[in-house]
Amino acid sequence: MDVAAELLAAALRIATPLLFAALGGILSERAGVFAVGLEGMMLAGAFAGVIGTHTLGHSGLGLLASAAGGALLAAVVAIATVRCGADQMVTGLAVNILALGLTSYLLRGLFGRGEAPIVRVTPLTPMPIPALGDIPVVGPLLFRQPGLTYVGLALVVVMVAALQRTRAGLTLRAVGENPTAAFASGANPIRVRVLAVLGAGVLAGVGGAVLSLQQVGTFTDGMTNGRGYLALAAIIVGRWSPGGALVGCLLFGATDALQLRIQGLRLPFSSYVIQMLPYVVSLTVLAGLGRSARLPAAIGIPFFREPR
């Protein structure tokens, strides 16, 4: 039982950066813009979080910097895809390359005189909730997590409510399903999409900061290492709903946590086979869902006002 609880707690910990990115991706995709750039936005956030904490001397300011870093990259996506109608998938890839190059370059160019320096920050520590944290099994699992993990879980609830129950959420979904109709009923699809993509950047940036500030305590080249793409898969597994994406992220988190644990055992194959688990599992789940996963109807299609 202890082992299982510890495994689940680890799964939740590993899932947190993915969760932030996936929630951001849902905003973007429900508004009709593919979120392939999540990987780059996370990386930008991870970088800005560490650099911000290091230079401003406060992890709260670092967190703000990570949100700004993710949003900056998202702004590039928004201008290219929403304003210019660039292909959303390939633009996402392009900003991922850009983020990888830019963060590695700035790390060396601004802080390391050509070499890659190690900028250390103190990782954010777990914040056990008094009383609740002492409940056996569930306590350590749910109530002795770092602060941002609670924020991520709370955000799931907030986003479900916002998407389903508020006017803004309705408009966002309408723009993702039929921007022309939304436009006719008085919404501004271009502004909605730009804001949704920027929101995705903020959330994915914070997701990156969870990785760099809460889990590792430093920034290394390309440290997101495909997590943005896993977040993208989690969105599809969860069928574009925040709760579903949480399940998807936890699934990948659990696979990863399991992977880290069975690496210690003596098995007839090396750890690389086990490292494939998260990717094989997500492929299997996606393939299992098959065509039942319905995309927002207007995703990928640029919206332009017809000139009159």
Partner 1 sequence: MRPLLAVLLALALTALLIVAAGKNPLLAYAALGRGALGSWDRVGVGLNKATPYVLTGVGVALCFRARVINIGAEGQIALGGLAATWIALTFPQAPPVVLPLLALAAGALTGAGWAALAAAIRLHRGVHEVLVTLLLNFVGVLIVSEALQGSLGEPGAGFPQSPLLPRASWLPRVLKGSDLHAGIVIAVIVVVLAHVLLWRMPFGFRLRVLGASTPAAVYAGISPPRALLGVMSLAGALAGLAGAVEVLGVHYRLIDGFSHGFGFNAVAIALLGALNPITVLPAGLFFGFLETGALAMQRAVGVPTPLVAVIQGLTMIFILSAMGLSARRSKV
Q: Which parts of 15-74 interact with partner 1 (CB under 8 A)?
A: 36
d(CA 147, CA 126): 6
Q: Which is nearer to partner 1, 97 or 135 (CB)?
A: 97
Which of 47, 183, 219, 229 contacts partner 1 by CB under 8 A?
229
Q: What 3-state class would DSSP assign to 46?
A: helix
d(CA 284, CA 282): 5
Minimum distance, C-beta of residue 100 to partner 1, in the bound complex (Å) = 5
Asked if residue 84 binds partner 1 (CB under 8 A), the reply is: yes
Q: Which parts of 109-128 interact with partner 1 (CB under 8 A)?
A: 109-110, 113-114
Asked if residue 5 binds partner 1 (CB under 8 A), the reply is: no
Buried b / exposed e over 167-204, threshold 16 CB at 10 Å, is: eebebbbbbbbbbeebbeeebbbbebbbbbbbbbbbbb
Minimum distance, C-beta of residue 103 to partner 1, in the bound complex (Å) = 8
Contact 61, 44 (CB under 8 A): no
Minimum distance, C-beta of residue 95 to partner 1, in the bound complex (Å) = 7
Q: Which is nearer to partner 1, 198 or 233 (CB)?
A: 233
d(CA 205, CA 217): 16
Q: What 3-state class would DSSP assign to 218?
A: strand
Which of 21, 23, 95, 298 contacts partner 1 by CB under 8 A?
95
Stretch that binds partner 1, among 24-32, 90-98, 173-181, 258-266 (CB under 8 A): 90-98
Phi, psi of 151 (to 5 degrees): -60, -45
Asked if residue 280 binds partner 1 (CB under 8 A), the reply is: yes
Q: Which parts of 188-207 interact with partner 1 (CB under 8 A)?
A: none
**Comparing C-alpha atoms, which of 242, 198, 209, 193 is closest to residue 61?**
209
Going 47 to 272 to 21 to 15, the CA torsion angle's sign is: negative
In the complex, which residues of this chain contact partner 1 (CB under 8 A)?
Answer: 36, 76, 79-81, 84-87, 89-91, 93-102, 104-106, 108-110, 113-114, 221, 226, 229, 232-233, 236, 269-270, 272-273, 275-276, 279-280, 282-283, 286-291, 293, 302, 304, 306-307
